């Protein structure tokens, strides 16, 4: 089962574990697909996924409370280390780093090591060390004895500074006075160590409070002078170990046996054990992984790295933090280092993005986090010395470098991999080579797989609401209509599929939610592929839309209809009838991704292709209105739209406060919609137009229109349209108008300077 998450207050509660961190082809998915996977797997909210995608989880209002003199927020690439099996548990490891190949190397190492059973870890209690520096001592040895004799009193005084930590079972539990020779001009001093169990925190602040709390007492006991009182980042009482055992046959290459590779790796590690120059680079590679994960998970990565490097020099000479050996046909790898980490306090509490990433990591305790980071560091080192001792480090970097070069010359996303691979094949990763290869590709016709089913092309129309908005929520009728502008979908062969290529949506306003909208489209593709059993199919899905999202034109429903229709046709389950109850339910399932609990009106209207009378019921009513002839209309995009759910809630609140007043308006809209159905059915354009104006007036009284929408309707009235009103939930968006056929295109041209976009359409022309 996947790990399930529920909210209790502001805490995240994790239940069942992630089913697997092994996600083949994850790197080939589009960003939208990767985010859809995370949302699906971890029940992330739309806002959380949008924050990950846009890099805006940490905003300036958070930053000003985290650092001084804040002027902004700096982003870093954020990726996932995959394939990690640690102590029998699956982990996805968030990693924030700017250096290419780090995340890929960690994931590759974890994939190989899981063949031997994954990583095993061992961590000690979360004990940090606080230091109190004592100088000007007449007899340091006697002062040390007096400190030990007063241990109980010192511990009690220290713990007064952190009562809540003590309540949780932590706090100072022991002291250790260390006599240190300060050298000429200083003499001997004492470093009094406070040993502090910090529970689930990293603990820096708590330790510092404790050190400061005992300063005056220590001076009275020793007769000396206290200077520094602060924690040590050499947290050698808070150790983490990780190790693995891997049969050597898994290391074999075309040129070398598994035993030869293993022996070379042992030799490479030995170099770092005996030579400080090599050890510095060796350990830097370890911290490439540890610090990338620590940064993403809100840890003090500077303290972690400082403590790790200090520990590497604990015997008086700086050396490797890892060890490797071969025994009984297996390569053994091990790392041991101090890791001062926490899952409460600091950035883990203050940074909204870190909270999301902690959820994805699945880490529940600080000791679990320490073990995971140790495994990441060992895996990073394994990957580095494996490459160094066989093919060389540059080959591992080559693929990502080649992709960067291809991107730099303007290669479109769908061609980047092909051009990168060709440059690597030639051994020439250069800008001029990328340009040459791209020119050749553009000149050649695209190769396509021999497949009778492909390409599949479908069209789905958009829709407008003609009458009855908001009243339909309270079971009054509504009338909507499919329009002859819409969305085209094409399903092609794609060797890297299945994937959803970045959609081509018209966007006329800088709508903040537009990126989130696109992510929702990607999530719907993910759901549809699963619904039709096409998760491994080599297909690419591309759309081209005349519809602007968020304008009440049914872009999500058109997308859902086109997607389901395309995949049904590809699977040979397409119905000959335009309306099909199974298809309707499948479309509704996708529509729920966009709207939670859709009424079905949009999907039914688009599937019908005509003008539809609708009542939500029960029982639900879908009745086509047969029009004698098509009616001409225009759509004017006025201003950014608002979320339907917010407008529905606004009407609900007003109804609770003014029940009779709002109910009278809703009833008038319902009665008007009945009259409008008759006018449309008889082809009475003039009456239908008059009722549209009246409907808009009622919606304005309901509180869902805006000044801009009202001005747009008045302007259209001045231009002599037959009728005009807002369409959809209101709060912004578009207005629609019924016009005389001979006026339509002249009005489009005349009004194009007044509105962001003006689109002509026909009612009743699609059936």
Q: What is d(CA 308, CA 302) in angstroms, rounded to the nearest whole number?
A: 10
Most confidently modeled range among 50-54, 149-153, 535-539: 149-153
The pLDDT of 445-457, averaged and rounded, is: 61
Considering 62, 397, 502, 595, which one is annotated as catalytic? Answer: 397
Q: What is the pLDDT of residues 62-118, one digit of tens each?
A: 777 777 788 787 888 889 999 999 999 999 999 999 887 889 889 999 999 999 999
Least confident of 56-60, 250-254, 737-741: 56-60
Least confident of 39-53, 235-249, 335-349, 399-413: 399-413
- pLDDT above 60 (res 4): no
- CATH 3.30.70.420 intervals, the chain: 127-232
Average pLDDT of the chain is: 86
Q: What is the pLDDT of residues 687-711, one digit of tens each?
A: 999 999 999 999 999 999 999 999 9
Q: Using an 8 Å Cβ cutoff, are 119 and 86 in contact?
A: yes
Percent of the chain clearing pLDDT 90 (strictly above) = 53
Q: Give the DSSP letter string of 649-688.
A: HHHHHHHHHSHHHHHHHHHHHHHHHHHHHHHHHHT-HHHH
Structure tokens given for 364: 């529940």
Give buried/exposed letters for 158-182 (b at 16+ CB in 10 A, else e).
bbebbeebbeeebbbeebebeeeee
Report H helices in 619-658. Answer: 644-657
- 392 backbone φψ class: left, alpha, beta (φ>0; ψ -120 to 50): left
CATH 3.90.770.10 for the 5-124+238-391 domain, yes or no = yes
Q: What is d(CA 351, CA 55) in angstroms, rounded to the nearest whole number?
A: 12
Of the candidates 687, 705, 708, the residue with the CA atom closest to the CA atom of residue 696: 705
Q: Using an 8 Å Cβ cutoff, are 19 and 4 in contact?
A: no
Q: Find the helix or strand (DSSP H, E) in which 458 lies.
A: strand 456-467
The pLDDT of 139-144, averaged and rounded, is: 96
- CATH 3.90.770.10 intervals, the chain: 5-124+238-391
- 510 backbone φψ class: left, alpha, beta (φ>0; ψ -120 to 50): beta
- CATH 3.30.230.10 intervals, the chain: 456-763
CATH level 2 (architecture), domain 127-232: 2-Layer Sandwich (3.30)
Considering 99, 149, 156, 504, which one is annotated as catalytic? Answer: 99
What pLDDT is stored for residue 5 in this prediction?
36
Task: Tell the burial category of 63 from Cβ atoms under 10 Å away from its Cβ (0-12, 13-18, 19+).
Answer: middle
- pLDDT above 90 (res 726): yes
> Is 397 an active-site residue?
yes
How far is CA 357 from each of CA 31, 32, 49, rounded to the nearest angstrom?
16, 17, 11
Considering 141, 156, 181, 284, which one is annotated as catalytic? Answer: 284
- pLDDT above 80 (res 531): yes
Phi, psi of 504 (to 5 degrees): -105, 85
- How far is CA 246 from its chain centroid? 33
> Is 282 an active-site residue?
no
What pLDDT is stored for residue 336 in this prediction?
97
> Is 284 an active-site residue?
yes
Q: Using an 8 Å Cβ cutoff, are 399 and 424 in contact?
A: yes
What pLDDT is stored for residue 667 in this prediction?
95
Give buried/exposed letters for 260-273 (b at 16+ CB in 10 A, else e).
bbbbbbbebbebbb
Considering 32, 90, 300, 422, which one is annotated as catalytic? Answer: 300
Least confident of 343-347, 360-364, 460-464: 343-347
The pLDDT of 223-248, averaged and rounded, is: 96
What pLDDT is stored for residue 518 in this prediction?
63
At 730, the pLDDT band (50, 70, 90 cuts) reads: confident
Record the pTM. Answer: 0.62
> Is 494 an active-site residue?
no
Q: Using an 8 Å Cβ cutoff, are 304 and 235 in contact?
A: no
The pLDDT of 324-332, averaged and rounded, is: 96
At 574, the pLDDT band (50, 70, 90 cuts) reads: low
Least confident of 177-191, 313-327, 388-402, 649-663: 388-402
Q: What is the pLDDT of residues 16-38, one digit of tens each?
A: 356 678 777 776 676 777 777 78
What pLDDT is stored for residue 538 in this prediction?
86
Q: Which residue has the higher pLDDT, 520 or 480?
A: 480
What pLDDT is stored for residue 421 in this prediction?
80
User: Looking up tokens 């303290």, which residue turns up?
Assistant: 303
- pLDDT above 80 (res 311): yes
Q: What is the pLDDT of residues 62-71, one digit of tens each?
A: 777 777 788 7
Q: Report domain 456-763's class.
A: alpha beta
Of the candidates 761, 696, 701, 681, the residue with the CA atom closest to the CA atom of residue 727: 696
Percent of the chain clearing pLDDT 70 (strictly above) = 90
């Amino acid at each position: 089962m996947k790990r399930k998450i529920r909210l209790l207050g502001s805490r995240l509660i994790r239940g069942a574990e992630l089913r697997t961190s092994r996600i083949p082809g994850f790197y080939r998915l589009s960003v939208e697909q990767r985010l859809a996977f995370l949302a699906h797997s971890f029940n992330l909210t739309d806002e959380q996924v949008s924050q990950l995608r846009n890099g805006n989880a940490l905003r300036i209002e958070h930053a000003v409370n985290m650092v001084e003199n804040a002027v902004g927020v700096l982003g870093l690439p954020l990726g996932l280390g995959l394939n990690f099996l640690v102590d029998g548990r699956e982990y996805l490891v968030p990693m924030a780093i700017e250096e290419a190949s780090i995340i890929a190397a960690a994931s590759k190492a974890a994939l190989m090591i899981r063949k031997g059973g994954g990583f095993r870890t061992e961590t000690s209690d979360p004990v940090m060390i606080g230091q109190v520096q004592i100088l000007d001592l007449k007899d340091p040895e006697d002062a040390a004895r007096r400190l030990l004799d007063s241990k109980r009193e010192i511990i009690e005084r220290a713990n007064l500074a952190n009562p809540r930590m003590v309540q949780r079972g932590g706090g100072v539990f022991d002291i250790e006075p260390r006599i240190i020779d300060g050298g000429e001009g200083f003499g001997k001093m004492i470093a009094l160590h406070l040993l502090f169990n910090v529970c689930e925190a990293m603990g820096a602040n708590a330790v510092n409070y404790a050190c400061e709390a005992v300063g005056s007492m220590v001076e009275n006991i020793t007769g000396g002078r206290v200077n520094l009182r602060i924690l040590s980042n050499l947290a050698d009482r808070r150790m983490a170990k990780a190790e693995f055992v891997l049969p050597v046959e898994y290391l074999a290459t075309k040129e070398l046996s598994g035993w030869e590779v293993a022996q070379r790796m042992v030799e490479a590690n030995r170099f770092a054990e005996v030579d400080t120059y090599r050890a510095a680079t060796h350990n830097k590679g370890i911290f490439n992984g540890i610090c990338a994960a620590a940064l993403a998970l809100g840890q003090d990565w500077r303290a972690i790295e400082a403590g790790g490097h200090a520990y590497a020099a604990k015997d008086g000479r700086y050396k490797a933090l890892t060890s490797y050996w071969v025994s009984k046909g297996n390569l053994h790898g091990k790392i041991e280092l101090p890791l001062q980490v926490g899952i409460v306090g600091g950035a883990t509490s203050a940074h909204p993005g870190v909270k999301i990433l902690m959820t994805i990591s699945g880490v529940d305790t600080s000791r679990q986090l320490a073990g995971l980071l140790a495994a990441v560091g060992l895996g990073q080192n394994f990957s580095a010395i494996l490459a160094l001792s066989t093919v060389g480090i540059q080959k591992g970097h080559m693929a990502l470098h080649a992709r960067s070069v291809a991107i730099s010359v303007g290669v479109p996303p769908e061609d980047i991999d092909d051009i990168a691979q060709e440059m690597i094949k030639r051994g020439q990763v250069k800008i001029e080579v990328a340009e040459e290869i791209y020119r050749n590709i553009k000149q050649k016709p695209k190769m396509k797989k021999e497949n009778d089913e492909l390409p599949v092309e479908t069209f789905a129309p958009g829709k407008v609401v003609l009458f009855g908005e908001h009243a339909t929520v309270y079971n009054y009728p509504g009338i909507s209509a499919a329009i002859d502008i819409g969305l085209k979908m094409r399903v092609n062969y794609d060797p890297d599929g299945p994937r959803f290529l970045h959609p081509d949506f018209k966007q006329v306003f800088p709508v903040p939610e537009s990126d989130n909208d696109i992510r929702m489209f990607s999530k719907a593709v993910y759901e549809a592929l699963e619904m039709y059993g096409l998760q491994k199919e080599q297909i690419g899905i591309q759309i081209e839309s005349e519809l602007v999202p968020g304008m009440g034109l049914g872009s999500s429903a058109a997308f859902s209809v086109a997607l389901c229709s395309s995949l049904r046709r590809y699977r040979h389950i397409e119905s000959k009838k335009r309306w099909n109850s199974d298809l309707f339910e499948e479309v509704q399932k996708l529509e729920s991704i966009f709207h939670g609990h859709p009424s079905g009106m949009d999907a039914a209207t688009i599937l019908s292709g005509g003008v539809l009378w609708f009542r939500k019921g029960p029982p639900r009513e879908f009745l086509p209105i047969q029009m004698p002839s098509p009616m001409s209309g225009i759509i004017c995009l006025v201003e950014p739209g608002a979320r339907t759910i917010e407008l529905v809630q606004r009407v609900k609140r007003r109804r609770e406060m003014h029940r009779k007043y709002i109910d009278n308006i809703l009833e008038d809209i319902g009665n008007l919609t009945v009259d409008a159905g008759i006018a449309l059915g008889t082809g009475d354009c003039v009456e239908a137009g008059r009722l549209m104006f009246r409907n808009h007036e009622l919606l304005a009284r309901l509180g869902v229109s805006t000044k801009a929408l009202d001005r747009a309707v008045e302007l259209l009235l001045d231009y002599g349209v037959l009728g005009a009103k807002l369409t959809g939930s209101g709060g912004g968006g578009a207005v629609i108008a019924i016009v005389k056929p001979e006026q339509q295109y002249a009005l489009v041209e005349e009004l194009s300077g007044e509105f962001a976009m003006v689109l002509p359409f026909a009612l009743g022309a699609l059936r």
